[in-house]
Copies of this chain bind each other. A is one copy, B any other.
Amino acid sequence: MAERAHALSTVDGYSGYGAEQGEKKLRAAVAATYYADLGIEETDIFVSDGAKCDISRLQVLFGSNAKIAVQDPSYPAYVDSSVIMGQTGLYQEDVQKYGNIEYMRCSPENGFFPDLSSVPRTDIIFFCSPNNPTGAAASREQLTQLVKFAKDNGSIIVYDSAYAMYISDDSPKSIFEIPGAKEVAIETASFSKYAGFTGVRLGWTVVPKELLFSDGHPVAKDFNRIVCTCFNGASNISQAGGLGCLSPEGLKAMSDVVGFYKENTKIIVDTFTSLGFNVYGAKNAPYVWVHFPGRNSWDVFAEILEKAHLVTTPGSGFGPGGEGFVRVSAFGHRENIIEAARRLEQLYK
C-alpha cells in the first residue's frame, strides 16, 4: 500500500477513477484464491470498501418492500439497514423485535441453526457463518438445507462469510461449496478480520451470474448499476493492499494472524470453562459466546466492566436471542488476553 501510495505521485504510477467493480487483477485474485473450484469467476466479484457498506448497497438493491429474515442473534447491520430502508414495522418493546422482520432463533438448544420448517418465507435471508456473535459455523448439511429452503421459497440468501478463514473443522468456507447455491445466494466477505483491514476498508461481494430475479433478470446486472451509481470503487491504495494479502506471502501472513487470534480464543475458552461457564462458538471464530443463564446481558457487561475493567459485548445487542450471553472477542495482544483471563478468574472463581 505504501508503494502504491507513493506511485500515485509519479506519471506512470498515477491512477484516477478505477472500475467501480474493482481492479481486474484484484477481482481475478479473489476469484482464484477463494472460489477456484466453485465456478465463481472474476466477473462475479465486486470489490467493496467493506462488508457493512455492501450490506447497505444490497438493501438499496432490494428496496423498501423487501422482507428479510435474520439469525437471532446476528450482526446488527442487517436489521438496522432494513429499518433505515423502511422495510420494517415498528419496534415492539415487549419482544424486542422490529415488525416485519423474521427472527430465526439460534440457540444452544438447536445447535445455533434455525428450525427452517417453522420459518415463514421472506424475500431475503441474511445468514452469517461463522456467526457474529455466536461463533457458530453452519455444517455442510445445514447449509444444504438452507439452500434448498431458499430455492423452494424463491428467496435470496445474503451469506456473510467475513469470518470464514477462522473455520478449523470441515464446515464450508463459502456458501458456493453447496450445489445450487449460485442460483440463490450472494456472498459478502472482507479483509477486515484476516489482515487487520478494519480501518483500511476492503472487502468483496460475490453476485453469481446464475442468480436471477423471478422475471429472469440477472441480480448482478442491477447490483452493478447500484455499485456504479452509489459507489466509485474502493480506494486504489486499499486495493493494492488486497493484492498484497492474496500474494503467497500475504496469504501466509493472514493465516498466521488468524492462527494467533485462535490461540487467544483458546485462552478465553479455557478460562471461562474452568470457571464453570458454558461457552459456545470459538472453534471456528474469533468470538467466544459465554452463557450467563437467567442474567441480563447488560448487567453482566456492567459487572465485568466495573469489577474487572474489561469490555465485552452484551449479547442482547445482537437481538433478543442474545439475552443472557456476552460476546468475548479474541482480537487483542496476547499479554492483554492473559491479563483479562487473570482478572476474570479473580472475578468469578
Residues of A within 8 A of B (CB): 1-6, 8, 14-18, 49-50, 52-53, 56, 60, 63-64, 77, 80-81, 84-86, 196, 198-201, 225-226, 229-238, 241
Contact = CB atoms under 8 A, between A and B. Distances in A.
A77 B196 CA distance: 33
17 contacts: A2-B5, A16-B199, A17-B199, A18-B199, A49-B201, A49-B232, A56-B60, A56-B229, A56-B231, A60-B85, A77-B229, A81-B230, A84-B225, A84-B226, A84-B230, A199-B236, A200-B236
A210 to B, nearest CB: 24
Contacts of A236: 199-201
Contact of A199 (B15, B50, B201, B225): B15
B2 A232 contact: no
Contacts of A229: 52, 56, 77, 80-81, 84
Contacts of A84: 60, 225-226, 229-230
Given A53-B230, A60-B85, 17 more contacts: A1-B237, A4-B5, A14-B196, A16-B196, A16-B198, A49-B235, A52-B229, A56-B231, A80-B229, A81-B230, A84-B226, A84-B229, A200-B235, A200-B236, A201-B236, A235-B237, A237-B238
